[in-house]
Amino acid sequence: MKTILVIEDNSDILENTTEILELANFKVLNAKNGKEGIDEAMKSKPDVILCDIMMPEASGYEVLLGLKKNPITKNIPFIFVTATVEKKDVNNAMDMGADGYLKKPFEIEDLLKIVRSFIKD
């Protein structure tokens, strides 16, 4: 079973995303802020990371930079899930090393499609 780490400070979004992914047969780990997300990624080495941008403790950008610098986590696919969708923000995120970008609110199909696109069997 593939593992997805969801880093999201909004409890409703975190709960809903977790439920969608679990129903699609993924093991889901949660983190409520950027610092917890970095710690969990280092500990569990998930198959894919979904991360909000605007969060307490460490922003999604800080999470991304921290994980991409670490040899243990640098190759884990990292997808931003955020309401911030201006072209410059998307380009900035991709330039920093993000592998994908999903706009909130998202459709269930779009979430599953982007996650599955990074899962290696």
The C-alpha atoms of residue 32 and residue 52 are separated, in whole angstroms, by 10
In a domain, 120, yes or no: no
DSSP string, 13-48: HHHHHHHHHHHTT-EEEEESSHHHHHHHHHHH--SE
> What CATH number is given to the structural domain containing 101?
3.40.50.2300
* pTM confidence score: 0.94
Model pLDDT, residue 57: 87
Number of domains in the chain: 1
pLDDT digits (tens, 9 = 90+) for 62-105: 999 999 999 999 999 999 998 876 777 777 878 888 999 999 99
Question: Does 55 score more than 70 pLDDT?
Answer: yes
Model pLDDT, residue 21: 98
In a domain, 119, yes or no: no
Structure-token pair, residue 63 = 């999470």
In a domain, 39, yes or no: yes
pLDDT digits (tens, 9 = 90+) for 12-34: 999 999 999 999 999 999 999 99
Under DSSP, the state recorded for 107 is -
